[in-house]
Amino acid sequence: MWSFFGELLRRTDGPCTLIVMDDEYRAQPRQYQVYPKHILIFLGAAALTLALLVVSLMAFTPLRDLIPGYGTTELRSNTRRTAMRLAALQDSLETQQQYMAQLRHILTGQFDTTLVRPVYPTDEGVSISGELAEVAAEPSSENWADHEQPALPVTRMPVAAEVPFKVISEGERYLSSLQLPALSPVGGFLTRGFDARTGHYAVDIAVEEGTMVRSVGDGYVIFADWTQKGGYAIIVQHADGYVSVYQHNQRLLKRVGDRVHTREAVAVSGNSGEFTTGPHLHFEFWNNGLAQDPRPYLVGL
């Protein structure tokens, strides 16, 4: 066989006659005229095609992972991306835990009073007395029945402080009490009401995305961030122990510590967060750690 190919390689300048016959000479011999140059070109093209096919299979199919050392760079890149995602998830989990702790303090009446606090004749050594002290001393219950309406007796709503509340960062300006009933934060229609038994301490107001969400009263922003369930959420602390919560926003317009006025835009409505069934505003209204049904406090709901 090799001598045959060697003979062909030596005669590439012209045609060769190839005679085919069987060993016993029973059949008429057959002869063919071939060009060694054409045979060599065909064999070279076939080898090149086969090589390209093998390279394509190795480069564009999972077979490349079988090559030792080929997938090391990609594996390192995937490992690096996985580590970054894990770190991001850990940061997100820590943020959510901080949010839940802060929200728990807010809703139980243990909110931060560094922005708004009572003004007394002397700034140190002052103790709260009277009805405000009785309300602050009462422990908050996790029983849903405590939030059934009315969540607070009429005699305790609103809480009457013996001294006015002063805004520390703005000199002699005072944080005015809410003017209730107030206008709804957005103009829309009610899709779900307040239900303490199921843990829905809010009303859901269907509204088109991009609508301005407005504060129901004067206050300070005590939380403004992304939450897993409520999406972009913002919480405003008002006077007399009131707290308003606005969730599922498209984006927030205020930061923590910002002073907001009645009917001032604090967010843009949207459909963010996991616990949402469509564009709407999830609005909560709390007083001294107890959830209130917002409908009696708002006009038009």
Q: For residue 106, is it within any domain?
A: no
Q: In terms of domains, do 13 and 142 share one?
A: no
Asked if residue 273 lies in contact with residue 250, where contact means CB atoms within 8 angstroms, the answer is no
- Residues 217-243: what's their mean pLDDT? 93
Q: In terms of domains, do 134 and 51 share one?
A: no
Q: In terms of domains, do 41 and 139 share one?
A: no
**Residue range(s) defining the domain that contains residue 24:** 2-60
Share of the chain above pLDDT 70, in %: 69
pLDDT at residue number 97: 74
H or E element in which residue 76 lies: helix 72-107
Asked if residue 287 lies in contact with residue 180, where contact means CB atoms within 8 angstroms, the answer is no
pLDDT at residue number 156: 42
User: Can you name the residues that pair with 280 across neighbouring β-strands?
Assistant: 206
Q: Which amino acid is at 18?
A: L
pLDDT range class, residue 54, cuts 50, 70, 90:
confident
Asked if residue 186 lies in contact with residue 263, where contact means CB atoms within 8 angstroms, the answer is no
Domain finish residue from 43, 60, 77 = 60
Q: For residue 28, is it within any domain?
A: yes
Q: In terms of domains, do 18 and 135 share one?
A: no
Lowest mean pLDDT among 43-47, 149-153, 261-265, 295-299: 149-153
Q: In terms of domains, do 247 and 167 share one?
A: yes
Q: For residue 102, is it within any domain?
A: no
Domain finish residue from 42, 60, 78 = 60
Q: In terms of domains, do 11 and 145 share one?
A: no
pLDDT range class, residue 171, cuts 50, 70, 90:
very low
Q: In terms of domains, do 139 and 46 share one?
A: no
Share of the chain above pLDDT 90, in %: 35
- Residues 30-52: what's their mean pLDDT? 82
Q: In terms of domains, do 21 and 133 share one?
A: no
Q: In terms of domains, do 172 and 286 share one?
A: yes
- Assess whether pLDDT exceeds 70 at residue 260: yes
Q: For residue 66, is it within any domain?
A: no
- Check which CATH number belongs to the domain holding 163 and give it: 2.70.70.10
Q: For residue 69, is it within any domain?
A: no
- Residues 149-155: what's their mean pLDDT? 59
Q: In terms of domains, do 29 and 125 share one?
A: no
User: Mean pLDDT across the chain, nearest whole number?
Assistant: 76
pLDDT range class, residue 84, cuts 50, 70, 90:
confident
Q: In terms of domains, do 148 and 21 share one?
A: no
pLDDT at residue number 175: 78
Q: For residue 87, is it within any domain?
A: no
Lowest mean pLDDT among 17-21, 270-274, 290-294: 17-21
Lowest mean pLDDT among 39-48, 119-128, 218-227: 119-128
pLDDT range class, residue 168, cuts 50, 70, 90:
very low
Q: For residue 10, is it within any domain?
A: yes
For 44, phi then psi, to 5°, come to: -65, -40
Domain finish residue from 15, 39, 60 = 60
- Residues 68-74: what's their mean pLDDT? 62
Number of structural domains (the chain) is 2
| More confident site: 92 or 286 | 286
Asked if residue 116 lies in contact with residue 220, where contact means CB atoms within 8 angstroms, the answer is yes
- Residues 166-194: what's their mean pLDDT? 77
Q: For residue 75, is it within any domain?
A: no
Q: In terms of domains, do 43 and 130 share one?
A: no
CA atoms of 113 and 107, how far apart (whole Å): 14
